[in-house]
Amino acid sequence: MDTIQILLLIVLVLSTIFLAIIGIQLVFVLRELRGILKTVRKVTQGFETVSTGLEQGLGEVGGFINGIKTVMKIVDLSNRSKNE
């Protein structure tokens, strides 16, 4: 074999080995990324649950305040009718 052919064969073999190693590393990185995305999804679902509960709680507080306003109006009207 000629010297150039031997050098080309060595370069080709080394390139193949490096690309195989890079491919394996890429698989590991993608697996780790998948795990991270699963964790992020769980966290966002937790925030969604908390925000839904908070929204319902604030709605109930608003209803309670409206009820108090209504009671105050009734008390005010009864006081006005007693004064007249």
| pLDDT given for residue 55 in this prediction | 78
pTM: 0.54
Long-range pairs for 45-50 at CB < 8 Å and ≥24 separation?
none
- Give the total number of structural domains in the chain: 1
Question: Which DSSP helix (H) or strand (E) runs through 1?
Answer: none
- The domain containing residue 17 runs over which residues? 1-84
Q: Do you know the residue count of the chain?
A: 84
pLDDT tens for each residue of 30-77: 999 999 999 999 998 888 888 787 778 777 888 888 888 888 888 888
> How far is Cα 62 from Cα 3, in angstroms, rounded to an integer?
86
With cut-offs at 50, 70 and 90, classify the pLDDT of residue 78.
Answer: confident
